[in-house]
Structure 1
Amino acid sequence: MTSMSFADAARTCLTAKYATFSGRARRAEYWWFSVVYVIAAVAFVGISWVIENPLPSVLLLPFLVPMLSVSVRRLHDTGKSGRRMLIALIPVVGPIMYLVGMTVDGTPGTNQYGPSPKVVGHLVG
C-alpha cells in the first residue's frame, strides 16, 4: 500500500478529482488537502487583512469545491453519506463529531460507494 503525500493530495484534489463527489478518499488525501486549504486560507485572509481589502479572500473560492468533494469522499470511505457533513452545523459538539468522524479508518473492501482506495492505490501504485 502506498501512502499519499502532501503534493499527491493537492494534485488529486485540485485537478483529477476537483468536483468528484462520488467514490472514496483515504484519510491521507483528506487531511493533506485540509492542510493545503488551511495554508491557502491563512495566506489569502492574511493578505486581505494586511492590505485592508477583502478582495484577495475571494481567491479562496476555487478551494471550496475540492474541499467539499474530498470531505464527501472521505465520509463515503467510512460508509456514511455526504450529508453527514451537516452535523458540523450543530453548535459546539457538531464540529467535534465531524472531525472525529474524519479520523475513523475506512470500511475495508468494497462498500456502497465503491472499492477501498487503499486496495485501489496498492494495485495502481
Structure 2
Amino acid sequence: MFQWYKKVVTDNYANFNGRARRSEYWYFVLFNMIFAISAMILDNLLGLNFEPIPYGWLYLLYALAVFIPGLAAAVRRLHDVNKSGWFMFIALIPLIGSIWLLVLFCTEGTKGANNYGEDSK
C-alpha cells in the first residue's frame, strides 16, 4: 500500500501525463492524511504551531512538499476516467462541483486506451 504513496512522491513527482488507478490515488490520499495529521500533532507537541491555529512549520513544510505531487496524482486520476486535468476547476462550483469531482475520483477508469494513454491496470 505504501508503495503507491512512494510512487506518487518520488517517481511521478510532477508528472501530469498518463493515468493513475484508483488505488494509486486513494492510497496516496490515505497516507498523505496520516502524514499531515502526524505533522500537525508534532507541531503541537514541539510548540511549533502558529498560536491561534493548530498548524505549524512542520505541517506547512510537508504541505508545500506534497502540493505538486498531489495535484499531479489528481490530474492523472482524471485522465484515467478520460477527463482533462482542467476538470479540477469543477470544484469551484459550490457544493455540486466538489461532489462531482469526488464521483469522478471514485469512478472506475476507462477500459483500454483512452486519450491520455494505455490502461493503467
Q: How many residue pairs align between the two structures?
A: 113
Structure 2 residue identity aligned to 1:27? R
Structure 2 counterpart SS, 1:8: helix
Q: Bigger CA drift: 57-66 or 72-81?
A: 57-66
* Alignment pair present for 1:117 and 2:112: no
Q: Indicate the RMSD between aligned Cα atoms, in angstroms.
A: 1.3
**Percent identity over paired residues:** 40
| Aligned residue among 90, 93, 96 for 2:96 | 93
Distance 1:58 1:93, change over 3 A: same
Q: How far is 1:46 from its partner?
A: 2.9
Does 2:80 align with 1:72?
no
Q: Residues 76 and 42 (structure 1 numbering): CA distance in 2 closer, same or farther, change over 3 Å? A: same
TM score, norm. by length of structure 2: 0.86
Give distance in 1, aligned partners of 2:59 and 2:33.
Answer: 13
Amino acid at match of 1:79: N
TM-score when normalising by structure 1: 0.83
Amino acid at match of 1:25: A
Q: Does structure 1 conserve the Cα–Cα contact (< 8 Å) formed by 2:2 and 2:31?
A: no
Return the offset for 1:116: 0.4
Structure 2's unaligned 5+ residue stretches are 51-55
Q: Which runs of 5+ in 1 are unaligned?
A: 1-5, 119-125
Q: Which has the higher helix share?
A: 1
